[in-house]
Structure 1
């Protein structure tokens, strides 16, 4: 039997490429989080408090994202970690989803409690702080937007910032309504709306992270079609023990056993298989075991 190991030219993985924007967003949000927390306490605004809470999760979430990227990069040379610590990215994304869900649920519960007797809110300072928060969140949003398309970890941080951006818009609306009409219910209502807008996105992120952790095939890869393409290669008679999974965002991995017919060119089969996996399915790392007819009785596949 023979084996083929193929991957594309090494390049910086998605998380590493976007480390600098993460640091910039982390610094800006950390500073303004303190400003919002103090302002929420002074004005008595629940909407502003919810915005400060979301910004806290932004800071914590981006911090976890950065920690995962740094740890994964440093662990790549450890021979005992054959896949490094890239999966930490996915764990950080899942932690982000849980954290943001917790904050959203807390704000929803507190908002419902305040409907009985909405407190007085200092609308002027609340509005000023909310406008500043919106500006900070827009900048952070733009910094993370491109990375969110490539990395599930950055997507978690991006959703944190998006939620906070929506929160800032909501606080501005609530402050404007209170300042012009004196209607105090605007504050808890806005807090409820922001919470309800964030939860679906958060759960979607958690499901995506869970899919990676259980090693399901990537959503964009149809495993039956992968098997069909490999089985259709010249010289291949059967494909078995085919596995496709995601290591971390942008790192799809596959392994398979290919039975060959008499006279098949092993090098040509491996080259064609690698090309199809890369070009048709975006799989850049594949380990392929090729088996000549005489090896059929020796390979029984996995027993689990």
Structure 2
């Protein structure tokens, strides 16, 4: 179990990552839609799920701090954090379904990517943003508790899907293989689903433990 100092530090780190990732998310979604890059759009939506996960994690830390300040000992603060993570897992499943539906629709219409350079630049910025977020969340001494470690793994998976988005854009740009863009989006969704399954399973066990 983490101490109050660990949680205070983690709360500040998650607050920074939430604001930072939200700005990057908006940029990726806007550029992804305007350039018709499904992989970039999917990564933006995935980044949105990342903002949601870390946002709930941050809110849980704020709530736990408030309860501790009020000395409300009848609340299990660890379960508060685990409940936030479990709720995030449910939203991650919905996000993955949305990405798959959008990818299938784009694949059926055979839309081409516009403005490859801008889409590629934005994806590169997203990868850099995720790398920074991973570094901030992990810190010098690792993650403080289960929720902070879950947030760290989630951002790490975002970085991997960002690499996939870049691959999809490059394949369409140099070889005109546009279907790879949608395929990468589906792979991104599968990554989200895998994460959500593990998150729901782990936090579910902790929440039902007596």
Q: Which category of TM-score, normalised to the shorter sequence, fits these structures?
A: 0.7 to 0.9
Distance 1:128 1:79 in 2: 49
CA contact (8 A) 1:54 1:160 kept: no
Corresponding position of 2:137: 144
Q: Following the alignment from structure 2 to structure 1, what is the Cα–Cα distance between the partners of residues 69 and 18?
A: 27
Residue of structure 2 equivalent to 1:42: 34
Q: How far is 1:80 from its partner?
A: 5.5
Check conservation: 2:85, 2:203, Cα contact below 8 A.
yes
Question: Is the contact between residue 30 and residue 56 of structure 1 (CA under 8 Å) also seen in structure 2?
Answer: yes
Q: Which residue is 2:117 aligned to?
A: 124
Segments of structure 2 that go 5 or more residues without pairing to the other structure are none
1:134 aligns with 2:132: no
User: TM-score of the superposition, structure 2-length normalised?
Assistant: 0.88
Give the counterpart of 1:28 among 20, 32, 45.
20
Greater fraction of residues in strand = 1
| Match 1:196 to one of 184, 190, 196 | 190
Q: Which has the higher helix share?
A: 2
Unaligned runs of 5+ in 1: 1-7, 217-304
How many corresponding residue pairs?
A: 208
1:70 corresponds, among 47, 62, 66, to: 62
Q: TM-score, normalised by structure 1?
A: 0.62
* Greater RCO, CA 8 A, separation 6+: 2
In structure 2, distance between residues paired with 1:57 and 1:13: 28
Instruction: Please state if 1:169 is matched with 2:163.
Output: yes
Deviation at residue 31 of structure 1 after TM alignment: 1.4
| Other-structure match for 1:110 | 102
After superposition, residues 7-18 of structure 1 pair within 5 angstroms as: 11-12=3-4, 14-18=6-10
Q: Flag the 1:158–1:210 CA change in 2: closer, same or farther, 3 A.
A: same
What is the root-mean-square deviation of aligned Cα atoms in Å?
2.3
Question: Residues 40 and 123 of structure 2 are in contact (CA less than 8 Å); yes or no, is this contact kept in structure 1?
Answer: yes
Asked if the contact 2:96–2:192 (Cα under 8 Å) also holds between the matched residues in 1, the reply is: yes
State which structure, 1 or 2, has the greater radius of gyration over its C-alpha atoms.
1
How far apart in 2 are the matches of 1:91 and 1:76? Answer: 17
Deviations 1:178-222 (A, max 9, x none): 110111101101111122223222211111111111015xxxxxx
Q: Deviations 1:44-82 (Å, cap 9, x if unpaired)?
A: 121111111111122222121111101111112546542
Take 2:190 and 2:71, find their aligned partners in 1: how far apart are those partners?
A: 45
- Closer/same/farther in 2, CA of residues 132 and 79 from structure 1, 3 Å limit: closer
- Matched-pair contact (CA < 8 Å) for 2:7–2:61: yes
In the TM superposition, 1:75-94 aligns within 5 A as: 75-78=67-70, 81-83=73-75, 85-94=77-86
